[in-house]
Amino acid sequence: MSNHPRFNSIRQTQEALQNKQISCEELTRAYVQSIDEHNDLNAFISVCGERAIAKAKETDSKIVHDDALSGMEGVVLGVKDNILVKGLGCTAGSKILASYTASYTATAVNRLEEAGAIVIGKTNLDQFGMGSSSQFSYFGGVKNPVDPERVPGGSSGGSAAAVKADMCLAALGTDMGGSCRQPASFCGVFGYKPSYGLVSRHGLLSSGPSLDQVGVLAHCVEDIEVIMGVMAGQDGLDANVRLPQFRSRKDVPLNALRIGVPEEFFTDGLDDEIKKAVHDQITMLKKQGATITNITLPHATKEAIATYYIIMPAECSSNLARFDGVRYGTRIEGDGSAGVGSDVIESYLLTREDGFGAEVKRRILLGTFVLSAGYADRYYVRAQQARNMLREGLAKAFREVDIIITPTTPNPAFPIGSKTDDPTTMYLEDIYTVSANLAGIPAISMPCGLSQGLPVGMQIWGRYGDDATVLAVARQLDALNKGQ
C-alpha cells in the first residue's frame, strides 16, 4: 500500500473515508495491489478483487450522500479458507476440496457483510486447520512477513500474515488449539479466540467441533471488539451458540484487577526473552495497582497437550469421514484393481488417499485408533476425564482471580522446514494455547515484545463468557505500552 496511507484501525479507516481523504474503491484497490505485491508470502489462496471493488463502490455511494459510516462499512476483510462465502471457493487448504465452491455464506461472514464489510479473499491455512506452521497447505506454505525464512504460525497463518503485511485491515481465522493466537504471536498482531458458543460455527468446515471457534486477527483490540459486536450472538443455525450478543465494556479498574500467573507456564522450556517480556507486562499491570497472584494449573500444559492430541484427532477422524468424493470435492474413480471388492469403496479409498495431506492422514489414523474398540476406554474416555479436571482447575482459579496471564508460545517463529518432519516437536508448539480450547474460555494473544528480533505474544485468559473483560484488559494494556 505504498501509494496510500496505512490504516491501523476501523475507526481510523472510516474517518479517512468519511473525510474523503481516500475513497473506498481506492482503498480496496490498494489492498488488492498489496496482495499482489506480497504474493511471495502466499497468504491468500484466492482473491475476489472485482467482488470487493463492487462492494466498495456501494460504500462510496453512501459517502457521496454524506451518510455516516457505521458497523463494518469500509472494512476490508480476509476470511480463512475454511469459512464459507457463497460463490467463492472454500478449499480448507486441501486438495480434496480444491474445486469446491460454497453454496451459502457462513453466519459470521454474513453478519459482517450485512454490516458493510468487504471480503477481499480467502486466506491460506494448514489443511483443515491441522498444523502450527501453515506449511501443511495443498496450495503451498505461508511465509512470515516479519522474516520470510520463518513460519507465520498456524493454522490461521494466512490471516495473520495478511493483516501484518497490510493486505487487509483485519481477518477471520479459526482457533481449534491456538490457531488464531499462535500466528498472531509469531507475526506481531492481535489474535482472539472467543468463548465457545459465542460465535456461530454455521458455515465453518470444522474438524474439531467441541474445540473450534471462529476468531479474529487484527491490528488492535478495538477492531476485535467492533467485529465481535457484529459477528457474535444467537443463531438458529447453530444450536451450540449459547451466549448472548457480545458487548464491549469500558475500561476495567486496573487497581482492582486480580491477575493469576500460573507457574507451569514459566518453566525451563520457555524462551528467556519471552519470559522477560511477559513478566514486564505483568509488572506494568502491577504498577497500575493490579494484584498479582502466583497460581498453579497442574493440568494446563503437559497434561493438556496430551489430552488435546487425543480428543482433537478423534473428532477429526469422525468429522472428516464425510469427505469421500461422492457428495462434493475431488473424486477418483475406482477400477477394481485395488481388490477391495467394490468400485465404490475403492473410490473412497483412492479419493481420501490422494485428497488428504500427510498431516491430516496422521491425525485421522490417530483418532481412529483412540476411538477403536479396546482402546477408547484407555485413551479417549480418560482424555475426556482429564479435560474435566482441567475445567475444574480453571474454575477454581477463576474464583480467586479475574484473568490469567501466560506466554502464547514457548519460542518465537521458527525457520520454515525445521519442525516439519518431527510431529511431536510441532505439536508442542501448542502447549500454552490448547487449554483455552479444551475449557472453552476466551483468550487473546497480544504483542508484548521481541525475542531474537522477532515478535512474541502474551495471552490473557478470562472466565467463560467474560470475553468483554479479556478484551478490555488487553486494550488498556496496549494503550499503556503505547504510552497513551
In a domain, 237, yes or no: no
C-alpha cell at 359: 498431516
In a domain, 197, yes or no: yes
- Residue 85 to residue 365: CA distance in whole angstroms: 30
Q: Which domain holds residue 21?
A: 10-231
Residues 15-49 have pLDDT tens digits of 999 999 999 999 999 999 999 999 999 999 999 99
Crossing angle of the two packed helices 49-64 and 24-37, in degrees rounded to 10: 160
Question: What pLDDT sits at residue 347?
Answer: 75
Residues 452-484 have pLDDT tens digits of 999 999 999 999 999 999 999 999 999 999 986
Q: Mean pLDDT of all residues in the chain?
A: 95
- Three-state SS string over 56-121 comes to HHHHHHHHHCCCCCCCCCCCEEEEECCECCCCCECCCCCHHHCCCECCCCCHHHHHHHHCCCEEEE
> What CATH number does residue 29 fall under?
3.90.1300.10
Q: Any idea which residue has 480450547 for its cell?
A: 437
C-alpha cell at 477: 494494556
Q: Which long-range contacts (CB under 8 A, 24 or more apart) does 230-237 make?
A: 230/71, 230/72, 230/111, 230/112, 230/115, 230/117, 231/108, 231/111, 231/112, 231/199, 232/194, 232/198, 232/199, 233/198, 235/107, 235/200, 235/202, 237/107, 237/200, 237/202
Residue from 397, 401, 447 nearest 292 by CA:
401
In a domain, 37, yes or no: yes
C-alpha cell at 178: 491456538
Question: How buried is 299 (Cβ within 10 angstroms: 0-12 exposed, 13-18 middle, 19+ buried)?
Answer: buried
- Three-state SS string over 108-149 comes to HHHHHHHCCCEEEEEECCCHHHCCCCCCCCCCCCCCCCCCCC
In a domain, 205, yes or no: yes
**What's the pTM value of the predicted model, to 2 decimals?**
0.96
269-to-188, 302, 352, 406 alpha-carbon distances in Å: 21, 11, 37, 13
In a domain, 222, yes or no: yes
In a domain, 91, yes or no: yes
Contacts of residue 124, defined as CB under 8 A and 6 or more positions apart, other chains included, come to 42, 43, 44, 45, 81, 93, 134, 137, 139, 140, 142, 157, 158
Which residue stretches of the chain have pLDDT < 50? none
In a domain, 292, yes or no: no
In a domain, 483, yes or no: no
State how many domains the chain has.
1
Question: What pLDDT sits at residue 345?
Answer: 72
Enumerate the active-site residues.
Answer: 80, 155, 179
